[in-house]
Amino acid sequence: MTQTISHYINGELDAGSGGRTGAVFNPSTGEEIARLHYGDRATLDRAVSTAAQAGQRWARQSHAARQAVMFKLRELVIANTDRLAEIIGREHGKTILDAKGEIGRGIEAIEFACNEPHVTKGEYATNVGGDIDVFSMRVPVGVVGIISPFNFPIMVPVAMMAMAIAVGNGIVWKPSERVPSAAMEFARLCEEAGLPKGVFNIVHGDKEIVDGMLEHPGIAAISFVGSTPVGEYIYRKGTSHNKRVASFTGGKNHMVVMPDADLEAAASAFVSAGFGSASQRCMAVSLLVPVGQATAERLRELVIPKINALKIGPYNDPAADFGAVISAQSKQTVLRAIDEAVKAGAEMVIDGRDIKVAGHENGYYIGPTLFDHVTTEMELYKQEVFGPVRGIVRAASFDEAIAITNLHEFGNGAVIFTRDGKSAHRFMSEVEAGMIGVNVPVPLPVGYFNFGGLRRSKFGESHMFGPDAARFYTKLKTVSQRWPNPDQQAMPVSLAFDASA
């Protein structure tokens, strides 16, 4: 019997009033495993009203009381890692090991949120003039809307909302309709951790709910992760409704390899960072950029056997290196990208189009695919391919490698492999990417550093993770106060601009 998944509002399962439903699939098998209730504006209104009222009560609790809930939530997520990983793998297609890695990074975000009292402290100055003291204070923004992607059902939304909850906001979360069950399990853990009912709410749906969140006067801030076209739309529409919007979008991450690098290590790093999770990561290495002909030829020799050795299989196969892509539609999109690269003249080195996984013939599998001699005019260079298709773009010099990297519209991450400190420092200074790796293939920062790209990989000035998250989810108030002595004479009337002295 197919499972039915409802919304979660005020601590209760809620079928909503929308009437529409959508299918949830297991990408490893292609089977429908659940029907998901899609919300409407009335469902969203109820969730926002609930979050606003409960959030106000939650914000009035002490820092210590909120910290205690976050500490408990951390312990519960750790204790339920196996269960969460199974849920993620079944609906996403990523391997259990990969899912556990994602959960671990989500735990980092919760740990940093436990530090909320420190990162929300204000400033204080005594007697700035006329016995006036001035101080600043940070208070919650109100209700926060979270719109999360399919590729990280736990890590990304937890990174987005852990600090939002810790500082005292109410939450309305719209998970990806492709991977809703991990969100429902996380709701259970929040409740068990002692988070008051109504602070945390889930409304499932599609564009109708997204537009409703962007327009809703009761939502103060929106945090989004997803594709660049959608992210730009969300940023522009959300800010037009006077909301704070943090929109984290696409990436086409370059990996520059210098002739002096450890080429064996670089080859392993490229395969690991390029094909993990079927390349459905915004921080995946998309393009290998070897500097010099000899470097390119040697790297090609090294990566081919490593790629050919990768095993593709269902999420619960412990021997699988990566699994299926998220949907049948996604598979067709990736296959079209491969066909376009062939037509454009890129050299296909490894073809993963005809892969078959025994016993899972209806799963959405694509084998690892590699192209060489990719140029900056090709769509394979320009477009983010959310599937296991990677390319080699050859650079004649370090200058050209930097130019190739900076030519792209995205600036999420970029990495260099080298033994030369001068080259590394130049790369850090000149490359326009928000996250830089030096001999590190995936420069995803730890939870207490800010995450975010540059150029069209991010819209808005905020960051995910780190101190910026606390600033984004709070608003700053500056207070000037004077407490006169009881016997002090009344101040005379003064029309001068500066009356503080």
What is the residue type of 111? E
Report the first-to-last Cα separation within the chain, whole angstroms.
76
Q: Are 369 and 380 in contact (CB under 8 A)?
A: no
Do residues 183 and 15 lie in contact, with contact meaning Cβ atoms separated by under 8 Å?
no
DSSP conformational letter for 304: H
Secondary structure (H, E, C), 380-418: HHHCCCCCCEEEECCECCHHHHHHHHHHCCEECEEEEEC
Contact 221, 171 (CB under 8 A): no
* Residue where the block lists tokens 């940070």: 138
Active site residues: 282
DSSP character string of 179-240? S-HHHHHHHHHHHHHTPPTTSEEE---SHHHHHHHHH-TT--EEEEES-HHHHHHHHHHHHH
125-128 CB contacts, 8 Å cutoff, 24+ apart: 128/480, 128/500
Q: How far apart are CA 92 and CA 98, in angstroms?
A: 11
Contacts of 297 (CB under 8 A, 6+ apart): none
Q: What count of other Cβ atoms lies within 10 Å of the Cβ of residue 191?
A: 16
Alpha-carbon span 235 to 42, nearest angstrom:
23
How far is it, in rounded angstroms, from Cα 230 to Cα 250?
10
According to DSSP, the residues that pair with 37 across neighbouring strands are: 21
CB–CB of 215/375 below 8 Å?
no
